[in-house]
Amino acid sequence: MTDKEKKIAKCSLCDEPRSEKYRPFCSKRCADLDLNRWLTGQYAIPVEEQEPDDFDKALGQSHLASSETNDPTKLN
Ligand SMILES: [Zn+2]
């Protein structure tokens, strides 16, 4: 209704005004709820970050394995 109201940032989880202490949330309760979402895997971001890392390691291991096979002198 007023300009001042529009400037109030709202909690990421609910529509309550954010608290400076718990931003971007309104309270410890909402901050805990968000943390719990991360811990229970409801966010997909951590999983997406792991996939390219594992893929890289898999590529590196297969590369090492094949070079050892192709160069028997490295075994001794
Ligand atoms: Zn909230």
Residue labelled with tokens 């901050």: 31
Q: How far is CA 56 from CA 6, 51, 53, 62, 72, in A?
A: 46, 9, 5, 10, 25
Does the pTM of the predicted model rise above 0.75?
no
Predicted local distance difference test score (pLDDT) of residue 24: 93
- Residue 26 has what pLDDT? 96
In order of their start, the domains of the chain are 3-70 (3.30.50)
Q: How far apart are the CA of 48 and the centre of ligand 1, in A? A: 27
pLDDT at 16: 94
CA of 1 to the centre of ligand 1 (A): 21
State the distance from the centre of ligand 1 to the C-alpha of 34, rounded, in angstroms.
10
**For residue 31, what pLDDT is reported?**
95
List the shell of residues around ion ligand 1, using CB closer than 5 Å. 11, 13-14, 16, 26, 30
Q: Ligand 1 centre and the CA of 42: distance in Å?
A: 18
H-helix or E-strand spanning residue 74: none
Q: What is the pLDDT of residues 2-53, one digit of tens each?
A: 565 567 899 989 999 999 999 999 999 999 999 998 888 865 555 555 555 6
The predicted structure's pLDDT at residue 38? 85
